[in-house]
Structure 1
Amino acid sequence: MARRLSIAFVHPNLGIGGAERLVVDSALCLQQRGHRVVLYTMHHDPAHCFEETRDGTLEVRVCRSWLVPRSIGGRLHILCTILQSLALARSVATAREQFDVLFVDQLSAPIPLLKHAHAHILFYCHFPDYLLARRDGPLRRLYRAPFDLLEELTTAEADEIAVNSRFTQETFRHAFPRIGRAPRVLMPALNLHAYDRPPDADDPALAVLRTGKRVVVSINRFERKKDVGMAIDAFAALRDCRACLVVAGGWDTQVAENIEYLSELEARARSLGLRTRTVAPRGATPAALALLPAGAVRTPSFPAAGDDGDQLESTDVLFLPSFTENQRAFLFSVARCTVYTPTNEHLGIVPLESMYMRVPVVAVNAGGPRETVPHAKAGYLCEPTAEDFAGAIRRVLDASGAQWAAMGAAGRERVQRDFSLDAYADRLERLIHEMLQRPMSSSPVFGILMTLFIVFAAAAAFALASWL
């Protein structure tokens, strides 16, 4: 791209997850190509974020709306999130800096208001939100109706729409029939150089992970839709394999589901006769420790006697909430297999990370992994049952050294060829360049009308919610 662009990324919560990793990598690759990049967000916790957003590599501007809570009585999350996003959009639209491009993802509601920034808007749809929402009962369906319509109308206002896989592209077309154009497929990439750094062996936080057992890894946020329980059920069927399952993932003390699901998984493992251990995040406060399952141990902050021993000899399932990047690197360096359990996941970054680190993947034969994991070459694609997963995990664990190495090499080659940051940057720059050749989709006046609709829908939803 010939000229230097000014690009703002608008993302709700810069925590730790696949969506956040895509935003960070997109910002990094554009910044490295000489473009001016700023990240706007509603929430950024330095203790729970990717390093590049904490160490000054990327400029992050946090715009909170103190008048709007994250929820009301533990409910109305979508209403509060939309209202917060409007405040964030106002901060972007009234910024003194003029942006050429706004990269918006996850939440489309602020797009009409962002029109006032007079910039081209690229919306990255990880997956239609309304397909992920609960609608158990007529009142909840009525409550969700205005938000579902709002998502479709506001998404259509973007100048360009991209999705992360062909699976999401097809889902998008069925979910939003009023949007006449098909979104562009822009698969995420990995910053391969970040994975090439070996783990810091002197990090005392690695002590809780050292073992002579074979390690099976599951990495996902602690959300029920990730179906991590299936990994635990499958592992329970492998009692004679002398292995340890490490369940690591994003865990936010502000998200009730994260807290509840971790406790549910720990109880599930114990009910199956598995010996469990939960390690608290590094630097966890007393309040955070109180939210963890009983008996959680602290992450060591300094080397201690016995660190060279087998810390997991008496543990079958280790829970590692809010793990560090160095712990992730160590896990991939010792893992024999990665288990990825979400069904119809729109893409899935973890299988790509695992394959690049030469660790075979066992994933559900649906959604994004069907497009990323070469079956029987870099791992196995299974039906979403504990029996199928147990069989595939056993095949990986029982593979000879040469067979295991061949699967690892095939996975790494796949990622290097199709998911490098350079290849992704080329595709992203090309998409932005094509978008800039076209006029912006509508005037800011429409944004005012759409904003009024959002406020009206929010008020109506609040009234309906009182009946739920």
Structure 2
Amino acid sequence: MVKVVFVHPDLGIGGAERLVVDAALALQSRGHSVNILTAHHDPGHCFKETSDGTLDVKAVGDWLPRSIFGRCYALCAYIRMIYVALYLVFFSGLVYDVVFCDQISACIPFLKLKRTKVLFYCHFPDQLLTKRATFLKRLYRGPIDWLEEKTTGMAHCVLVNSDFTAETFAKTFPSLSHITPDVLYPSLNFAAFDKKVEPLGDLLPKNTDVLFLSINRFERKKNLGLAVEALGKLLENPALIKRKVHLLMAGGYDDRVTENREHYLELRQLTEKLKLNDHVTFKLSFSDAEKLTLLSNCTCLLYTPSNEHFGIVPIEAMYMRRPVIAVNSGGPLETVVHEKTGFLCEPEAQSFADAMREFVTKKNLSDKYGKAGHSRVVSSFSFKAFGNKLDRIVKKLRKS
């Protein structure tokens, strides 16, 4: 048995959080001891396993600010994670062999104060997730970017979520050329998706013939406006309006996050501008049961981010036998097979609209691609394979 502690910035609902939860479940199911420490955990906005007692979760340091007058989010996140690390080392009383940390590497030097093994999972270099449009922003980010590279190199083991992220890691951190990250693809716990699907209820307008579904956080980098604009292009053909085509924009939404609130309003304004109010529905956050219902009943998933590090939602959709239309960059290049499990398109409204038209006009295409997608996920992205590899990694770390 290996005693493993996970440290994570904010255990809400998102792809990174899903991976952390799955990693914890995989290790726990193999007899390892698992604890999770996080700077924030809201039982009303989290994955069920973190609130129903399945996993041992403790939130510490949530009293620390998330921003300074609406700015310095990165700095505050680093401080909060360092606090979590210090709490673990000096005050938690936990006995552990390996620490699994992700997203923020600044805590690694503090985790190593106890001479424990540290595994760092790099979803994507943090410094690439923000723009530096002004001199002050570049001045602010300079030390943070240096610290990210320096501390990432201090981990005993570095994992990444895709070959795309591994290549980006090498380009972003030139001083870490001696480190070759191991790829550990995120996976699906198939049992969680094999549950009984609840009826749609009032999730959608009645009598929808073709349902396009977008699932992503309400953040600008997810390029959600592309889905709305593509629908507008698609419905420029009057004949298609009669088919009762609908788009449901569902995603993680946290009222504490300014960007979530702002971007949701921007999308509503875009929908009104394109006169698509009768064809677009917004769903702010959802339960696991509602996600299964939406995936089961949609015609196709629209996945709009460019250069996404991996993207777990396309995997979920394909397992539920739904095809995927995604941007032809980043993680989807490793998950979606063009013209077999969906379409890989340019990040342009017309390109997406052309692919969407295929599912509107070809009756059996959704089922055909959906079946192929399910087979691909089962063979390449199983929870068992994910857990077995992670099990080997933590055992090797403890012995090293």
Q: Which TM-score band (shorter chain)?
A: over 0.9
Q: Provide the residue aligned with 1:192 in structure 2.
A: 190
1:294-325 deviation per Cα after TM superposition (whole angstroms, max 9, x unaligned): xxxxxxxxxxxxxxxxxxxxx31001011111
Given the alignment, which residue of 262, 269, 272 partners 1:270?
Answer: 272
- Pairing 1:320–2:283 present: yes
Q: Provide the residue aligned with 1:243 in structure 2.
A: 245
Given the alignment, which residue of 258, 261, 269 partners 2:260?
Answer: 258
Give the alignment's Cα RMSD to 1 decimal. 1.2
Given the alignment, which residue of 371, 378, 385 partners 1:409?
Answer: 371
Q: Provide the residue aligned with 1:100 in structure 2.
A: 97
Q: Provide the residue aligned with 2:391 in structure 1.
A: 429
Cα 1:6/1:363, change in 2 over 3 Å: same
User: SS in structure 1 opposite 2:301?
Assistant: strand
Deviation at 1:137, TM superposition (A): 1.5
Q: Provide the residue aligned with 2:202 in structure 1.
A: 207
Distance in 1 (CA, whole Å) between partners of 2:280 and 2:149 is 42
User: SS in structure 2 opposite 1:270?
Assistant: helix
Q: Provide the residue aligned with 2:156 in structure 1.
A: 159
Give the aligned residue type for 1:334.
N
Contact 1:360 1:396 in 2 (8 A): no
Q: Provide the residue aligned with 1:130 in structure 2.
A: 127
Deviation at 1:65, TM superposition (A): 4.8
Distance in 1 (CA, whole Å) between partners of 2:292 and 2:149 is 39
Distance in 2 (CA, whole Å) between partners of 1:178 and 1:413 is 40
Contact 1:103 1:121 in 2 (8 A): yes
TM-score normalised to structure 1 length: 0.82
- Pairing 1:365–2:328 present: yes
User: SS in structure 2 opposite 1:405?
Assistant: helix
Q: Which moved more, 1:375-384 or 1:93-102?
A: 93-102
1:386-443 deviation per Cα after TM superposition (whole angstroms, max 9, x unaligned): 0000000111222232x332211110011001111101011111222333343xxxxx
- Pairing 1:117–2:132 present: no
Give the aligned residue type for 2:343.
Y
Contact 1:92 1:117 in 2 (8 A): no
User: SS in structure 1 opposite 2:106?
Assistant: coil
Contact 2:40 2:62 in 1 (8 A): no
1:71-93 deviation per Cα after TM superposition (whole angstroms, max 9, x unaligned): 11101111111111111111111
Contact 1:98 1:117 in 2 (8 A): no
- Pairing 1:331–2:300 present: no
Distance in 1 (CA, whole Å) between partners of 2:386 and 2:378 is 11
Contact 1:102 1:122 in 2 (8 A): yes
Structure 1 gap segments, 5+ residues each: 276-314, 439-468
Where relative contact order (Cα < 8 A, 6+ residues apart) is larger, the structure is 1
- Pairing 1:221–2:217 present: yes
Structure 2 gap segments, 5+ residues each: none
Q: Which moved more, 1:116-125 or 1:4-13?
A: 116-125
Q: Provide the residue aligned with 1:283 in structure 2.
A: none
1:112-136 deviation per Cα after TM superposition (whole angstroms, max 9, x unaligned): 0011233211000000000111200
- Pairing 1:35–2:32 present: yes
Distance in 2 (CA, whole Å) between partners of 1:134 and 1:340 is 22
Give the aligned residue type for 1:231.
A
Contact 1:6 1:100 in 2 (8 A): yes
Distance in 1 (CA, whole Å) between partners of 2:286 and 2:274 is 25
- Pairing 1:49–2:46 present: yes
Cα 1:328/1:210, change in 2 over 3 Å: farther
Contact 1:90 1:114 in 2 (8 A): yes
Q: Provide the residue aligned with 1:344 in structure 2.
A: 307
Q: Provide the residue aligned with 2:362 in structure 1.
A: 399
Give the aligned residue type for 2:366.
W
> Percent same amino acid at aligned positions?
47
TM-score normalised to structure 2 length: 0.95
User: SS in structure 1 opposite 2:35?
Assistant: strand
Paired positions, count = 391
Q: State which structure, 1 or 2, has the greater radius of gyration over its C-alpha atoms.
A: 1
Deviation at 1:210, TM superposition (A): 5.3
User: SS in structure 2 opposite 1:384?
Assistant: coil
Distance in 1 (CA, whole Å) between partners of 2:155 and 2:106 is 11
1:146-175 deviation per Cα after TM superposition (whole angstroms, max 9, x unaligned): 000000011011000000000000000010
User: SS in structure 2 opposite 1:64?
Assistant: coil
Q: Provide the residue aligned with 2:346 in structure 1.
A: 383
Contact 1:360 1:407 in 2 (8 A): yes
1:328-377 deviation per Cα after TM superposition (whole angstroms, max 9, x unaligned): 11101110000000000000000000000000000000000000011100
User: SS in structure 2 opposite 1:208?
Assistant: coil
Deviation at 1:64, TM superposition (A): 1.6
Contact 1:82 1:110 in 2 (8 A): yes
- Pairing 1:5–2:2 present: yes
1:222-280 deviation per Cα after TM superposition (whole angstroms, max 9, x unaligned): 000000000000011222242110000001011100000000001001100111xxxxx
Deviation at 1:56, TM superposition (A): 0.6
